[in-house]
Chains A and B, each alone.
Chain A
């Protein structure tokens, strides 16, 4: 068991790709698998900042929302091809991350969480008020991607399984990127900042610039998740920007295991699956999720994956 997990940890991108390739067949239906894929990516992007650098942002819904809306607006209002629209979503989220990060990294600790939450609310109101572009309360409708060709083969985006694999393509690229970032010197500096900011600064690292850079990277990845979500749902609900959505990223990271590579994804899968199961017998799934979350915060702060790793005493550096 231990050596198997170590093997997975060593080839984490390959392992996640293989697993995600068969994932839709494990899930009860494809739409749930796609949802998990998208929110898994969202949580992984968030975890880059929270789990690896120790900055607890409560404003990451802003990036999910910016990605979704810009991609949606590009397709609906400007007739952009969907590939270009995704790019617009990512870039928009990165710019949003740059502005929000610039303001928020001036503060520390709990203050940082409060500031990101408040700034996220700004983004919410901006998109809410720009009704002619975003549809306001009703959300943006009609984000359609129909048939197109991949290498000359006609592809039907409305087929759920096809949609899953197209989205998976982008998610795998992002996972590879995250893995590269973490194993680069930047990743080491991030963890150094999490462990002891003052010492990292004393070692000569530019703490403020690293924080900002990671904030922007994290925002861009969450923006990609948002873009993909717009394509998946074919509408952009205003809820995307809601602070409870930011909270979802936090919950997923904690549930799965913050600061671990697979944790956020596992957290997303467990939470969305739980939500799916619970909604079949009560519409008050939020209460159940809230209680489960509190239980984990109290008794398993390392999350599901983190607890498994520490029980098996797997070196946290090679997670």
Chain B
């Protein structure tokens, strides 16, 4: 390791944060849906993949990344609304396994629909205009798009945080997660809240798909490894803890990028090893409550 300098380490750290932003966003979406509806969305990776495809497609057709950035989550969110209303809703009260299995089946269908629509090879990813090339960040040149990724994710996460913590709707969501009976008694249509939360979670998954698309290859299978990785993040952070999801997401991203600097062969494994270690020491995850393991 002769080329190892402080600058290189910092760059790698930044790369890790960019990667971790995507993880954090995905885990946050999973966590929202789980915290409120007690449903693990096994199709979350598939929604991510659909988001990437639609994002690249709209970008190619319209030429506007910003347009695509708005439209894509609206569509994936819409699919999410339909999913909750017609597929997940009949399964409430039947335990945790059935919604999980249903969304797993849905992921099969979504993958196949994308294959039929866009072909099995996928689409070439496009870096949006104005975000290509690198920028001098003081210690070296860093890809502009990744900086954008970090900033954009931070804004989205803050937005979600603001929505949950500071708005009336957020209050209802939090109350509903704590005690749905009471919320119902107070006259809130809890079914509508669940619908919106599921849609929001899927919209966030789609949004992370389009945001991630310039940094990875867009193909129908791309949601599969990322689902496993977002589960790792969820397990490390602690089930149902939004703070845990964000912190663990960044942490996992940094671990991945640091390992790929020092031991490139072990990069993929490193985050799973991290999970195994966390499980041994703190089975409930870093920010999880002891009793909240489902």
Contact = CB atoms under 8 A, between A and B. Distances in A.
Interface of A: 56, 103, 106-111, 113-115, 117-122, 125-126, 129, 242-244, 247, 250-251, 254, 284, 286-287, 289-291, 293-294, 297-298, 301
A287 B91 CA distance: 21
B85 to A, nearest CB: 13
Sort A-B residue pairs by CB-CB distance and give the 6 closest, nearest first.
A290-B108, A109-B294, A287-B112, A114-B231, A293-B105, A294-B105
Contacts of B129: none
19 contacts: A103-B276, A110-B34, A117-B231, A118-B231, A120-B228, A121-B272, A122-B272, A244-B108, A244-B224, A287-B112, A289-B108, A290-B106, A290-B112, A291-B109, A293-B104, A293-B105, A297-B102, A298-B102, A301-B94
Interface stretch (B53-61, B187-195, B232-240): B232-240
B98 to A, nearest CB: 6
Given A103-B280, A284-B116, 16 more contacts: A107-B235, A107-B279, A108-B293, A109-B96, A111-B294, A113-B100, A114-B234, A115-B235, A115-B275, A122-B269, A243-B227, A250-B104, A286-B108, A286-B111, A297-B98, A298-B102
B8 interface: no
B268 A118 contact: no
A110 B272 contact: no
Contacts of A293: 101, 104-105, 108
Contacts of A119: 272, 276
Nearest to A284: B112
A122 B36 CA distance: 30
A113 B106 contact: no
A244 B112 CA distance: 13
B126 to A, nearest CB: 26
Given A56-B100, A118-B235, A108 B294 contact: yes
A117 B96 CA distance: 16
Interface of B, helix, strand, loop or mixed by DSSP: helix
Contact of B40 (A113, A121, A284, A294): A113
A118 B276 CA distance: 9
B228 A243 contact: yes
Interface in B65-105: 87, 90-91, 94, 96-98, 100-102, 104-105
Nearest to B236: A118
B225 interface: yes
Contacts of A284: 112, 115-116
Interface of A, helix, strand, loop or mixed by DSSP: helix
Contacts, number: 115
B87 A298 contact: yes
B105 A121 contact: no
B265 interface: yes
A294 B215 CA distance: 33
Chain B interface size, under 10 / 10 to 19 / 20 to 34 / 35 or more: 35 or more
B279 A106 contact: yes
Contacts of A297: 91, 98, 101-102, 105
From B96, B112, B234, B293, residue with most partner A Cβ within 10 Å: B112
B124 interface: no
A107 to B, nearest CB: 6
Given A115-B279, A298-B90, A287 B113 contact: yes
Contacts of B239: 110-111
Contacts of A301: 94, 98
From B34, B87, B101, residue with most partner A Cβ within 10 Å: B101
B128 interface: no
A294 B228 contact: no
Contacts of B170: none
B283 interface: yes
Nearest to B280: A103
A286 B111 CA distance: 8
B1 to A, nearest CB: 21
A113 B202 CA distance: 21
From B90, B108, B234, residue with most partner A Cβ within 10 Å: B108
B228 A117 contact: yes
A270 B198 CA distance: 32
A286 B110 CA distance: 10
